Amino acid sequence: MRAPEREYDSDPASHAHSQTRTLSSSPPPKTNGYVANGHGSPINGSSKHLKSPVARVELPGSTIYDDSYIDREEYIRLVIQSLRDIGYIESAATLEAESGYVMETSRVAEFRRCILDGTWSEAEGALGHLGVGEDDGLWEAKFLISQQKYLEYLEMGKITMALHVLRNELAPLHMDPELLHPLSSLIMCTDSADLRQKAGWDGAHGSSRRRLLVNLQSYIPSSLMIPPRRFVTLLDQARLHQISHCIYHNAPVTPQHFSLYADHTCDTDLFPRITTTILQVHTDEVWSLEWSHNGKFLASASKDKSVIVWSVGPNSNPDIYVHLHLQDHQFPVGCLAWSLDDTILLSSCEQLIKMWNTESGALIRTIEAHTEPVSALAWVPDGSGFISASQDRKINLWGSDGKQRDSWGITATRIIDLAVTPDYTRLVAIGESAKDPILPPPRSDATAASGANRNGNNNTATSSPRTLEYLMIVYDLTTKQPELSVSLGGQLTSVKISSDSQYALVNHAPDEIHLWDLFTGRLARKYTGQRQGRHIIRSCFGGVDGNFVVSGSEDGNVYVWHRDRAILLDVLTGHGSGSVNSVAWNPRNTQMFASCSDDCTIRLWEPSAGDRDGDSSTRLAHRTADDRSHEGEPNVKGKGRSRESWVEDDSASRSL
């Protein structure tokens, strides 16, 4: 958009596409009404910021480089907007004068002023001069302006004027009744605070007018009214594009990890693919792992009828010891769940749920409400309680005190696992359902029941064959009603939810992991390579943005994929024979995750010692007296220090 050779005394839009470029030493043009950040108070004419006239520069061509497709005018106007956004007003004015381009016309600036000042009639009249026609959403734009006017009249207590706007401006626009009816009900609000709360609106003196301006901008051609912070938006898009192509991306986006000077890439040596510690205290298969929310403790559940809570320092080796050894379980332990504040740990053994104090190791309560093995435990995101599910088809909601608050009743499936979305809107359950409506008889044999916890199917419980259907059911947490039910062809063993509540990660036999988009109800991706046919395998999301998928396998290996591209990144070896049953990524240390196996061990995976913060000798100096009995561990072929075997330190653990 070209600036004229004289001060603005008419609409300069007619100069927008002029190709005449002359070197001029005349005074720079006025550019009335420019706004920092696209939202602030208008800045009076830019010419006053210049101490001396600036010569307009004539350049050949219309792109910024001869071999570039980027239009010079668009580029310069975005630079001017960015300079104003960050406070370089004088520099922006100089660039306008030197280039001959202005960020926006006086009519655009006037429209911006009308919206921010609340002069609604003038704002509506200006829409027609900004290229907004009926086909471009003129009526929708007018509705937004009248809606703001209506709310502001209600806020001021001018009910008669608000009613006039409702009847004579909003209603004649014939918008969707679902938009109009909630607005009409706001007349009954008792005061302005009640109005703002019910309307989800922060008032005329809040940010509502600025948000209105952003919403209106979508109806105005971007060549006239540049979208806010457009240059930053383009840079953010470039950053996301680079991250999506960095398949080992595992670094937070900070000025230290992202620069405009070079394309972003992560060092593959910083990926956690080395076993730095082997934990060997359990005497039988280790079935499940859960990190505390603060990332300082790792709980492991085993077939040996115990739970061990490990204290893990910022770097696992050697800052690790047994914090608690919880042995008061009558049967093998299947599930674990930490409370939001990490003060309570839940464990399940058969139909029992146990609540433990994680500081003292004291047993708080034993809950017996299910009639078959408890297959899933999950704390609700607000920390007020937890949900349990069982193969008896029941889902129960408990308070943090262990008292039952609600129930889903008898569900459609024998539940194998469940998870609650972090936004606390959905519950995702997976399970099996017999197509024959006759249920198998309850099992009383403890060995068979523990085998059902270990293995995904329960056919050992009945002598007659039956056809099983495997389902993923998504429940609305408010209504407890299913909003999505998907029948899948193979056995399902675990489900995890992404931190943005969008994706459900489901282990699916044989030999697949599925990523389901909960927003669309569609299968987004499949991950293959691991082996899973008859055992419960629990996978997880991992990394700084949850951009990895990690799973154990019945071949004894750990598999890592890029979440969005479904590329198999690594197959990590080291566990002994048998299945790797569960993996868990540290929520606070993005360079550490854990795996557990039938070989009775837990492995912690990190970058090699030379690539982590601090070397081995530095971390060795911070070890406590209780840890000194563990010194002298061997190295593993130069891949970082590794603890081949841990002997339980009675002085640092508590056995119950």
Q: Which of 297, 115, 82 is nearest to 212 (CA)?
A: 115
CA distance 592 to 296: 12
Domain-wise residue ranges, the chain:
12-104, 110-228, 369-489
Q: Running DSSP on this structure, what letter comes out for residue 535? A: B
Place of tokens 């320092």: 313
CA distance 367 to 351: 9
Phi and psi torsions of 155, nearest 5°:
-65, -35
Buried/exposed code over 484-520 (b: 16+ C-beta within 10 A; e: otherwise)? bebebebbbbbbbbbeebbbbbbbbbebbbbbbebee
CA distance 542 to 585: 5
Q: Is 239 helix (H, G, I), strand (E, B) or coil?
A: helix
Q: How far apart are the first and last CA of the chain?
A: 77
CA distance 441 to 448: 13
**Is 497 within 8 Å of 503 (Cβ atoms)?**
yes
Q: Is the dihedral of CA 54, 60, 66, 68 positive or negative?
A: positive
**Is 303 within 8 Å of 262 (Cβ atoms)?**
no
Planar angle of CA 95, 101, 106, nearest 5 degrees = 110
Buried/exposed code over 441-452 (b: 16+ C-beta within 10 A; e: otherwise)? eebeeeeebbbb
Planar angle of CA 74, 80, 84, nearest 5 degrees = 145
Place of tokens 């056809």: 467
Q: What number of helices (H) and strands (E) belong to the chain? A: 12, 30
Place of tokens 């996301």: 240
Place of tokens 């693919």: 273
CA distance 506 to 456: 13
The DSSP bridge partners found for residue 635 are 641
Place of tokens 């009214």: 225
Helix (H) or strand (E) holding 199: helix 192-199
Residues 6+ apart with CB under 8 A from 38: 81, 85, 112, 213, 226, 227, 228, 229
CA distance 463 to 378: 33
Alpha helices by DSSP H, listed for 411-474, are: 446-454
Residue type, 644: E
CA 169 from centroid of its chain's CA atoms: 41
Written as six digits, the tokens of 529 are 């390579």
Q: Which of 655, 624, 628 is nearest to 313 (CA)?
A: 624
**Model confidence pLDDT, tens digit, residues 550-592:** 999 999 999 999 999 999 999 999 999 999 999 999 999 999 9
Helix (H) or strand (E) holding 468: strand 468-476
Q: Read out DSSP for 132-193?
A: --GGGTHHHHHHHHHHHHHHHHHHTT-HHHHHHHIIIIIGGGT--HHHHHHHHHGGG-SSHH
CA 436 from centroid of its chain's CA atoms: 40
Q: Is 197 helix (H, G, I), strand (E, B) or coil?
A: helix
CA distance 164 to 240: 48
Q: Which of 652, 623, 6 is nearest to 316 (CA)?
A: 623
CA distance 228 to 544: 29
CA 126 from centroid of its chain's CA atoms: 40
Q: Which of 446, 471, 474, 475 is nearest to 461 (CA)?
A: 446
Residues 6+ apart with CB under 8 A from 188: none
Q: Is the dihedral of CA 379, 382, 384, 389 positive or negative?
A: negative
CA dihedral 104, 105, 109, 112 (to 10 degrees): -70
CA distance 336 to 328: 15
**Domain spanning 369-489: CATH 2.130.10.10:** yes
What's residue 52's pLDDT? Answer: 62
What's residue 35's pLDDT? Answer: 39
**Is 608 within 8 Å of 639 (Cβ atoms)?**
yes
Buried/exposed code over 555-586 (b: 16+ C-beta within 10 A; e: otherwise)? bbbbbbbbbbeeeebbebebbeeebbbbbbbb
Low-confidence ranges of the chain (pLDDT < 70): 1-52, 255-256, 315-318, 435-466, 609-656
CA distance 603 to 612: 17
Would the pTM of this model clear 0.75, i.e. be above it? Answer: no
CA distance 18 to 522: 50
CA distance 97 to 175: 45
CA distance 635 to 649: 21
Place of tokens 């790797």: 580
Written as six digits, the tokens of 329 are 């379980």
How many residues are listed for the chain in this entry?
A: 656
**Is 439 within 8 Å of 394 (Cβ atoms)?**
no
